[in-house]
Amino acid sequence: MRGRSIVPTQRNKLLGAISAVMIGIALVDVTVAGNWDMVVVLGLGLLSQLVLVVTLHAPRPTVSLRGDLFRWLDERSAATGEPLERITDRCVAAYRADLTGTSDDDRRSGT
């Protein structure tokens, strides 16, 4: 199983930001020391960490699921290769359509 949350938590964002700051401090230190090999390595690490932190700020809201539902989504995703987010979107849309008696096409056309 890949994880317990579809959308990153605030804790993950905070840990990513803290590690980016720590890599930045180490980068300054090795730059002052003139250790150019480590400057390159830490520079790439900092770049990777910053990309990760930026991508963790997804515009999608967090959805909490029961463990059995998440396992089913995860297994379905692994079996089909379809992203968890897409499967979740389809499931919620189907549930909404069942509750309201309308389809997504009806909602988009305004009928």
Give the tens place of pLDDT for each residue, 49-101. Answer: 988 888 777 676 777 788 899 899 989 999 999 988 889 889 989 999 999 88
In the predicted model, what is the mean pLDDT of the chain?
83
How distant is the alpha carbon of residue 24 from its chain centre?
23
Name residues whose C-beta falls within 8 Å of residue 23's C-beta, 6 or more positions apart in sequence.
Answer: 42, 45, 46, 49
Residue 106: pLDDT over 60: no
Distance CA 41, CA 104 (A): 48
Residue 1: predicted pLDDT: 44
Give the tens place of pLDDT for each residue, 18-34. Answer: 999 999 999 999 999 99
Residue 54: predicted pLDDT: 82
- The letter for the amino acid at 64 is S
